[in-house]
Amino acid sequence: MFRSRNPLGRQVVVITGASSGIGLATARMAAERGAKVVLAARSGDALARIESEIEAAGGQAIHVVADVGDRADVDAIAEAAIARFGRIDTWVNDAGLSIFGKLEEVVEADNKRLFATNFWGVVNGSLAAVPHLKRTGGVLINLGSVASDVAFPLQGMYCASKHAIKGFTDALRIELEEEGAGVAVTLIKPAAIDTPFPQNAKNYADRAVKLPPPVYRTEEVANAIVHAAVHPQRDIYIGGGGRLMSAAQRLAPRAFDRIGRTMIAQQLRDEPARGRAGALHQAGGASREAGSTGRTSGDHPGYVMRRSFYTRSTLHPLASSIVAVGAVLAATSVLAGNRRR
């Protein structure tokens, strides 16, 4: 178990992928709680608007236009954070994209671009951040996925990148612990989250795409990230549904493979595809027409769960235990009263 860090209101937090979705929700939540935030993404216009929004609300923020697949760009993020705020306490590697399409259909250039952002973006961010985090005893937070443990058809290369992120993050954690570096490393594993993720993905299918259920609100991930910045944990799953999938895959992999085949239909909408290029190669890309930059939520057509009791219980195990015991005692009291009557 890692020790607690400085309160969020005394931290400088760097967030990549901050122009939409989880990154944007995290930036807003961290700023609301007093953190100084450094926003990074490829969408300069969106970042400038978000920076102004945070400062208008009384927060402190700067933005850096960067492609996380380029190590020089990522080093520039760290340099800007130090130049403005003097230190880095928490670094969040959130930038990521996907491709919807069968592995045999996806061209090599698209696969390489995805890995440059998803995997090398995490590697570049982690290696740029660690020297600064060693000085502050800070926290490195990498965004993996339930896809770090299981595989989904139609998003094979995305799953491969998330498996790679898990391997890299776990190895880096061990090396830092052996060194006694004092840096906490947390891997966040969200299930499906209602962000502009499907619109930003490149789509090879002839139908519009969506995420398979269960789907959770973006703010549930942001809440876990800002919690980990102060109370870091090794792994945090977002959503009990995702945790169950990981457990099922580990216990009965062949059975889970058969279940996985049903996810093909669960990822396709009953409407034609639009904006297939997504934001894979260009910031905003076709998704700019849908207005996904600057938005935390997507347009998931099904039910979106507001919160995950499972995740909240892992973040606050003692409080959850007290609530559970209280519920049991209350139920016992009611039953006893009914018997007396």
Using CA atoms, how far apart are residues 149 and 272, in angstroms rounded to an integer?
A: 31
Given the residues 158, 216, 303, 310, the one annotated as active site = 158
Residue 29 has pLDDT above 90, yes or no: yes
pLDDT, tens digit (0-9, with 9 covering 90-100), for 206-251? 999 999 999 999 999 999 999 999 999 999 999 998 888 888 778 8
> What is the per-residue pLDDT across 285-313, written as a single tens digit (0 to 9) for each?
544 444 567 899 999 999 998 888 889 89
> What are the residue ranges spanned by the domains of the chain?
8-307
Active site residue 158: yes
Give the three-state DSSP class for 292: coil
pLDDT tens by residue, 163-177: 999 999 999 999 999
Q: Report yes or no: 33 and 223 within 8 Å, Cβ to Cβ.
A: no
Separation CA 141–CA 130 (nearest Å): 11
Which amino acid is it at 319?
Answer: A
Using left for φ > 0, alpha for ψ between -120 and 50, and beta otherwise, residue 154 falls in left
Contacts of 173 (CB under 8 A, 6+ apart): 185, 234
Output 102 or 253, whichever has higher pLDDT.
102
The arithmetic mean of pLDDT across residues 102-110, rounded, is: 98
What pLDDT band is residue 318 in, cutting at 50, 70 and 90? low
> Is CATH 3.40.50.720 correct for 8-307?
yes
- pLDDT tops 90 at residue 260: no
pTM above 0.95, yes or no: no
Lowest mean pLDDT among 14-23, 99-108, 224-233, 289-298: 289-298
- Residues with Cβ within 8 Å of residue 3, at least 6 apart in sequence: 184
Average pLDDT over residues 129-144: 98
What integer pLDDT is reported at residue 329 of this predicted model?
A: 41
Calpha distance 157→162 (Å, rounded): 9
pLDDT given at position 247: 84
CA 85 to chain centre: 24
What are phi and psi for residue 172, nearest 5 degrees? -65, -40
8-state DSSP, 103: T
Torsions phi, psi for 192 (to 5 deg): -65, 135
92: enclosing H helix or E strand: strand 90-93
pLDDT value of position 292: 66
Structure tokens at 302: 């099904």
Q: For residues 280 and 283, what is the distance between their CA atoms, to the nearest angstrom? A: 8
